Structure 1
Amino acid sequence: MKFALSILTICGLIALAYTAPLDDSATARLLRYDFDNIGIDGYDFSFETSDGIERKESAELKDIGTDTKALTVDGFSTWVAPDGIKYTLNYVANEKGFQPWGEHLPRFKPQPKK
């Protein structure tokens, strides 16, 4: 009886492993890559891979009204999770800190660009 139960448990684990989503990130290919280095004033870049990842980011050096300047970065990243759901994370990073938002995150109002 214990032997039959062990065999059933092993078969169940094997079946579960075959139903798990495949992770093709190890074989993902770069489909698109763009980069523009503006120098000390900022940058722009974006890329997309065959496994559904996409990212775009830009930065600009801005005068924030003090004796110093701050780098303002805004962008987004999109990916498909192992459960098949597509997520998008938007963000702004500036003198006020890193401010992310997305449908999967608790909501807050992001700071508008100036």
Structure 2
Amino acid sequence: MFSKLVSLVFIPSGCTISKRVFFPLIQIVLSALVAISLAAPQKRFTPGGLESQAVILSQDQNLEPNGAYSYRYETSNGISAQQTSFDGANGAGDYSYTGPDGVQYRVQYTADTYGFQPQGAHLPVEPPVPDHVLKGLEDIRRSPPKDPGFNLAALDATIARLRNTLG
């Protein structure tokens, strides 16, 4: 039924084009139209309100010749941050912001050779370490490997961090 309707509407009488050629051609054209309409650029989200109109209320930065630095800033939409580094590689600081739920969040952190270590009331905390894991690490500490690449300070820091999870 559809092929008769298409041939009545699209194929003029007396046309020498065969239906075997015409129908695949129609499918290709319709597929191309669908693809073009789906590939059209989507509307982009442009934030409005406080975020797009925030201004810097205060800003301060200090850079020392030895690489030490500090900075702090505060914006009109409730964002504030500060960080200090005494050697240019390790830093500590905090930042705060108002979440989408209207709550003010504050994160304190250190960033050093052990990575970025954030703390905040809203962040999950590490669960207590199982006793057998801590005991195994302490055994390694008592008789460390003879490998020159073994980092005893890192092991000590890990043991101290895991002890803190015990409360």
TM-score after normalising by structure 2: 0.45
Q: Report if aligned partners of 1:23, 1:82 keep a CA contact under 8 Å in 2.
A: no
Higher strand share: 1
Matched with 1:94 is 112
Aligned 1:31-50 pairs, distance under 5 A: 31-50=57-76
Counterpart pick for 2:122 among 79, 100, 104: 104
Tell me which structure has the larger Cα radius of gyration: 2
Higher helix share: 2
What letter corresponds to residue 81 of structure 2 in structure 1?
R
Cα distance between partner residues in 2 of 1:75 and 1:34: 14
Q: Which structure is higher in RCO with an 8 Å CA cutoff and minimum separation 6?
A: 1
Q: Runs ≥4 in structure 1, deviation > 2 angstroms?
A: none
2:56 corresponds to 1:30:
yes
What letter corresponds to residue 43 of structure 1 in structure 2?
Y
2:103 corresponds to 1:77:
no
Aligned residues: 81
State the secondary structure of the residue aligned to 2:52: helix
Q: Which sections of structure 2, spanning at least 5 residues, go unmatched?
A: 1-47, 127-161
Cα distance between partner residues in 2 of 1:23 and 1:58: 31
Q: Report if aligned partners of 1:77, 1:90 keep a CA contact under 8 Å in 2.
A: yes
Tell me the alpha carbon deviations over residues 52-90 of structure 1, each in whole angstroms, 9 at most, x when there is no partner: 0000001121xxxxxxxx721000110001110000111
Over aligned residue pairs, what C-alpha RMSD do you find?
A: 2.1
Q: Which sections of structure 1, spanning at least 5 residues, go unmatched?
A: 1-21, 62-69
